[in-house]
Structure 1
Amino acid sequence: MTGYSGNRKALPLIRVAVRKWGWLLFLGLVIQGLIAPAAERQRGHALVLRIDGPIGPAQASYVEQGVKTAMEQDAAAVILSMDTPGGLDTAMRDIIRVIFASPLPVLTYVSPSGARAASAGTYILYASHVAAMAPGTNLGAATPVAIGGGLPLPGGRDKEPPPAEDGKKPAAPAEDSSAKTMEAKAINDAVAYIRALAELRGRNAEWAEKAVREAASLPASAALAQKVIDLMPATLDQLLADADGRTIILNDKEVQLQTAGLVIAHFDPDWRTQFLSAITNPNVALILMMIGIYGLIFEFMSPGVIYPGTIGAICLLIALYALGTLPVNYAGVGLILLGIALMIGEAFAPSFGILGIGGAIAFVLGATIMFDSDIPGFEISWAILLTIIGASLLFALLVVPMVIAAYRRPVVTGQEDMLHKIGDVLEWSGTAGQVFVHGERWRAISDTPLAAGQKVRIIGLDGLTLKVQPASSPPSQGDRR
């Protein structure tokens, strides 16, 4: 009993100790939860943006949003991870303007192994505060591409024509001379731009010019050796470690990077960017335009259906928005509209296929020149183009004639079906009475006196009243509803 009594006396002391240490443990966990995020905030993070594929308006908008988000999150740096074949000049320059205006250092990293920074990607790499490439990547081929066709490649010169028999150099045609002048202006402008970027960031300006004039390319190792890029890390963590301590010019001030140990966070494009990226694909824009045009045509042919017109209007507006963000040759748009008009005209005024074939040719030419097929990632797919042409021809030669025939076919339902039918007079008084038609009793009026049992012909309707005349009389030329 004595031992048991001692244990009972110790229980209150044990409870006090458990409560004391439990509260201390709880306070420790709370303090750790408060300190850890603060320590991580003090440690900072780098926000990673990812560009895969051609550079267009959607990618430019995404980079701008990413830099703004990094500023709002108080990030220490922005990493632009990239794998691109090139893209639109306007979108490329928008991205470079964002990099120049960024208060945060932008580290552009061509990755993973096997990726490239071709054409527009080379300019962006040159414009970045730190240019890095993973092993096994490449950059270059920065020759500008003009709307309607590529510019000359190596050297920017075409072969000279052979000399004339008298030994004199033949004069170049005026059109050829004008085209060469425009090509030279575009190339010289691109050379000046990329040299300015190279000199601003202290990179190899001679090779940059070569990439533009001769479409030269380099692998990552050679780019590092020739001071085209700054680093060749294998991973993002290694990029941050290698960039640590480097001095860059940020907003006209020398800044020493402190990137070692930064936490890596990723910024994914929102739904608007993904939607813009989808509709600015020339093939998608062309399909939307066709759906819009044919939807409106269906609505005009069958008023009141609503759905074709609504869907068509939405698709057409989206297509016009997409075309407004792309380098479009509006002569191509005109040819597409002309082609559609000719194919529909074939249905209204058959011309043994001449209008239909002419419309198909105009459509092909328009779709071919509407977008510049030489810009990487902005080519028109021939499979899609031929499918649209086939569908347009079927629509013009089969669907439209069927709709027209149905529209011209006599009405066989409703009150219109009563016209010219024969009925029997049930009773008549003066100019009005009752007639029996289609198993129904109708009120009728007539300018001719009638008698019960007489056959009458319906020549018109006035609401629920029939206009009739004796069936023996020839149909009136003025019969109308």
Structure 2
Amino acid sequence: MIKRTQLSEFFLMLVLAVLPSIVLALARPVTVMTLTGAIGPAGADYVQRGVARAAQEGSQLVVLQLDTPGGLDTAMRAIIKTILSAPLPVACHVAPGGARAASAGTYILYACHIAAMAPGTNLGAATPVALHAPFMDPEPSKEKRDKDERQSGKPATPDESATTPLRQKQVNDAAAYIRGLAQLRGRNADWAERAVREAVSLPAEDALRLGVVDYLAADTPALLAQLDGKTIKVLAETRLLQTAGAPLLPYQPDWRTQILAAITDPSIALLLMTIGIYGLLFEFMNPGAVAPGVLGAICLLLALYGLQLLPVNYAGLALILLGLAFMVAEVFLPSFGALGLGGIAAFVAGALILIDTDLPGFGIPPALVASLALLSALLIAAMTGVALKTRRRARVGGLDDMRGGVAEVLDVAGDAIWVRLGGETWRAVSVTPLQRQQKVRVIGRKGLVLEVAPLDLHDKGA
């Protein structure tokens, strides 16, 4: 017989063998998100919906893999607000190797509950990029800074070089913002302020040593292994992380995010706006074509929606619309190319200053502007050629222009004579008897009745 002690040991071993599987099955999942490229409205929407979905699905943690050169201030602040108000902890992981969290990415990293980097990554250079709107003071040029150095006898520090009041406001606001995030998360606030004022950067190993980040992990499983058993404070509550072996729930950008990213790309927005205006133009020129009008309206609305989410220079937008209007007017007005050339120049100038920022990923390539300008010029030339041909064409007149035309007799029934003229059937009268298939010439008209005469008799009389 099996002894009771042996039976107990057997059940104990069985429980110990099955327990890890039970714990793993009961472990709350971890949502993994990926944010790459320039941070814009699409990225902000992606993070907001991803964090909300993770909380709804009961995830214990959100891991945000970050690789960005920077982005728009409005999008960055929207992401940070989402992180600060999230009902679950958010870990920012700058990964994989070779990735970076520059400019706006540094602020997002500081805002997260957990900051981690993979070996071979870097962060920093968080100085705000100046927006060059017409009403803003320009940043001092290098020549001016060199002149100030010679006059003062000492090198200009980054703060001294940013001498305009507006620039100082931007830098001071950004420095206070990132310092507040650093103090909230207990990270190195002094280096964070240097990243703003001096645009310094750090590799991953130095960031860990200086207390800028919390962990160094090559990938997500390695990070989760280090986080297992840690306690994180979230909205005045303490959360215990049980991440060892926790199931991962990837949340990739869906079709909505991809479409939003496409239409908020300045190049795509400019292209959509051009197509939309020309589509509506063709519809107005050819009423009833339907397709150009439908396509043009859709493209124009998408372009306007994308542009209202971007830092648009309205002077540039006005120049683009003015240029397109001039190019269209060139077809209808005898300006001998003045309106067309002026329209192309206005379109190019407006497109180059349309997006009011120097941030990477938000500029319009000059090659695209040149291509659209060339395409518009070819379109103008084609429409002008069609207009000139139309003007040279003989005028198709009304009923009075039928005089002198040659018709064919279709039927003769007493006084009722029917003739075909220009593919149309008309009633006619004649003082000379006529026969079917006889050629006659129109010599007059009374209302809707034509006066005709035999062709040979009329020509002899002429």
Normalised to the residue count of structure 2, the TM-score between the two structures is 0.80
Q: Which amino acid aligns with 1:138?
A: N
What percent identity do the matched residue pairs reach? 48
Amino acid at match of 1:436: V
**What is the distance in 2 between the residues matched to 1:381 and 1:157?**
28
User: Is the alpha carbon distance of 1:440 and 1:277 closer, same or farther for their aligned partners in structure 2, counting shifts above 3 Å?
Assistant: closer
Q: What is the 5 A alignment of 1:26-425?
A: 39-148=23-132, 159=145, 161=147, 180-402=164-386, 405-406=389-390, 409=393, 421-423=405-407
Alignment match, 1:25: none
The Cα of 1:254 is off from its aligned counterpart by 3.8
In the alignment, is the contact (CA less than 8 A) between 1:339 and 1:358 conserved in 2? yes
Matched, 1:468 2:450: yes
- Is 1:456 the counterpart of 2:438? The answer is no
Local SS of the residue matching 1:49: strand
Q: Which residue of 2 aligns with 1:436?
A: 419
Whether the 8 Å contact between 1:428 and 1:451 is mirrored in structure 2 is no
The 2-side partners of 1:204 and 1:38 are apart by: 40
Judged with a 3 Å threshold, the aligned counterparts in structure 2 of structure 1 residues 98 and 420 are, in CA distance, closer, same or farther, namely farther
Residue 154 to residue 437, structure 1, CA distance change in 2 (3 Å): closer
Quick check: 2:130–2:139 contact (8 Å CA) kept in 1? Answer: no
Judged with a 3 Å threshold, the aligned counterparts in structure 2 of structure 1 residues 414 and 314 are, in CA distance, closer, same or farther, namely farther
Moved more, 125-134 or 257-266: 257-266
Distance 1:340 1:155 in 2: 35
SS where residue 295 of structure 2 aligns? helix
**Which amino acid is the alignment partner of residue 417 of structure 2?**
Q
Q: Is the 8 A contact 2:101 2:109 kept in 1?
A: yes
CA distance in 1, matches of 2:108, 2:400: 71
CA displacement at 1:115 relative to structure 2: 0.4
Query: How many Å separate the matches in 1 of 2:274 and 2:393?
Result: 29
- Deviation of residue 439 (structure 1)? 8.9
What is the CA–CA distance in structure 2 between the aligned matches of 1:369 and 1:440, rounded to whole Å? 57
* Contact 2:420–2:426 under 8 Å retained in 1: no
Greater shift in the superposed pair: 356-365 or 146-155: 146-155
Q: Could you tell me how far 1:353 is from its partner in structure 2?
A: 2.9
Contact 1:144 1:151 in 2 (8 A): no
> CA 1:76–1:254 in structure 2 vs 1: closer, same or farther (change >3 Å)?
closer
Query: What SS does the aligned partner of 2:218 have?
Result: coil
- Counterparts of 2:424 and 2:87 in 1: how far apart (Å)? 88
Q: CA deviation at 1:107?
A: 0.4
Residues 419 and 427 of structure 2 are in contact (CA less than 8 Å); yes or no, is this contact kept in structure 1? no
Query: C-alpha deviations, 1:284-311, integer Å up to 9, x for none?
Result: 1111111101111111111111111111
Bigger drift between 260-269 and 210-219 goes to 260-269
**Aligned residues of 2:99 and 2:121 also touching (Cα < 8 A):** yes
The answer to whether the 8 A contact 1:198-1:205 is kept is: yes
SS at match of 1:370: coil
Question: 1:414 Cα deviation (Å)?
Answer: 12
* 1:246 CA drift (Å): 3.6
SS of 2:70's equivalent in the other structure is coil
Secondary structure of the residue that 1:296 maps to in structure 2?
A: helix
Q: Which amino acid aligns with 2:272?
A: L
Alignment CA distance shift 1:400-1:94 (3 Å): farther
Contact 1:147 1:329 in 2 (8 A): no
1:73 Cα deviation after fit:
1.7
Distance 1:79 1:444, change over 3 A: same
Query: Aligned AA for 2:262?
Result: A
Distance 2:217 2:300 in 1: 46
Q: Secondary structure at the match of 1:357?
A: helix
- Deviation, 1:451, is 5.0
Contact in 2 for aligned 1:133/1:232 (Cα 8 Å): yes
Q: How far off is 1:239 after superposition?
A: 0.6
Query: 1-side partners of 2:384 and 2:445: how far apart?
Result: 33
Structure 1 distance, partners of 2:358, 2:250, is: 32
User: What residue ranges of structure 2 are gaps of 5+ in the alignment?
Assistant: 1-18, 153-160, 435-439, 455-462
- Structure 2 distance, partners of 1:122, 1:301, is 52
Moved >6 Å (runs of 4+)? 35-38, 149-157, 411-420
Q: Deviations over 1:257-289 (max 9, x none)?
A: 333332222112221111111111111111111
Structure 2: how far apart are the matches of 1:234 and 1:409? Answer: 75
Report SS of the residue matched to 1:146.
coil
